[in-house]
């Protein structure tokens, strides 16, 4: 937990995680299996850090908060997480994202069609490649008939996500992946769905590209 993002975790640490997962679940040494494992670990890591931040905020009145780490978190890791949460850069971005989530009342422009169904229909038939989450967000919440967003909240979310992905804001230290951008703006993922993409949708190709890069580094 001493790293702000999954991508910051050293390759050697990820190798150890993979070996542990392979042994525990009797997994084969297969690039496809490893890719799926890394995708899931990435999502769980970001969600865990979000949950730790909620625990931290809910216990700010505890003068001995450092001595009371959440269950399953070592005192050393808890101290590192708190130090990160108390940086001015993190506080600034966190507060802005919190305000954005409070005012979200989101609609979409798909009519009676679900967003998940839209994503399914937009998949490339030959390659199976799915639309990115960012493009899905815009296409399902921007009305071509009106040439405008269905609501201000959807537009603001889209702009915030682009800022995180492109680093287009002085308050953002560096760019993040598409998945991380959605988590920062909309909150942690749910187990059965991706934020903004409906129920049951698989992780999009962008995440696969990031994981492929991790696997390539691990195999060097």
Treating both helix axes as pointing N-terminal to C-terminal, what angle do 31-58 and 205-218 enclose, rounded to 10 degrees?
A: 110
pLDDT of residue 204: 43
Residue 7 has pLDDT above 70, yes or no: yes
Q: Residue 160: exposed, middle, or buried by beta-carbon count in 10 A (0-12, 13-18, 19+)?
A: buried
3-state SS assignment for residue 184: helix
User: pLDDT, tens digit, for every residue of 190-219?
Assistant: 655 565 665 444 444 444 455 556 655 655
User: pLDDT, tens digit, for every residue of 106-156?
Assistant: 565 555 456 667 676 777 777 777 788 888 888 888 888 889 998 888 898
For the ranges 28-32, 33-37, 40-44, 199-203, which has the lowest average pLDDT?
A: 199-203
Mean pLDDT of 68-86: 93
The encoded tokens of residue 216 equal 């390539």
If you search the block for the tokens 């001015």, which residue do you land on? 88
pLDDT of residue 206: 43
Long-range CB pairs of 52-57, under 8 A, 24+ apart, other chains included: 52/1, 52/81, 53/85, 53/94, 56/81, 56/82, 56/85
User: pTM (2 decimals)?
Assistant: 0.52
């Amino acid at each position: 937990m001493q790293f702000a993002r999954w991508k910051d975790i050293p390759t050697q640490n990820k190798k150890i995680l993979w070996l542990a997962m392979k042994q525990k679940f009797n997994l084969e040494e297969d690039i496809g299996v490893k890719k799926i494992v890394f995708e899931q670990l990435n999502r769980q890591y970001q969600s865990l850090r979000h949950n730790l931040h909620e625990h931290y905020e809910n216990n700010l009145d505890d003068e001995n908060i450092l001595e009371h780490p959440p269950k399953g978190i070592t005192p050393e890791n808890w101290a590192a997480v708190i130090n990160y949460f108390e940086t001015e850069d993190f506080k600034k971005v966190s507060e802005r994202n919190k305000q954005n989530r409070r005012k979200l009342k989101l609609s979409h422009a798909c009519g009676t069609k679900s967003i998940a169904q839209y994503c399914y229909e937009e998949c490339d038939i030959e390659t199976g490649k799915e639309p990115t989450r960012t493009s899905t967000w815009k296409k399902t919440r921007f009305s071509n008939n009106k040439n405008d967003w269905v609501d201000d909240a959807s537009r603001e979310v889209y702009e915030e996500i682009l800022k995180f992905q492109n680093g287009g804001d002085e308050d953002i230290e560096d760019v993040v992946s598409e998945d991380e951008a959605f988590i920062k703006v909309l909150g942690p993922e749910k187990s059965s769905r991706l934020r903004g993409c409906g129920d049951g949708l698989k992780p999009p190709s962008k995440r696969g590209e990031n994981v492929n890069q991790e696997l390539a580094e691990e195999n060097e």
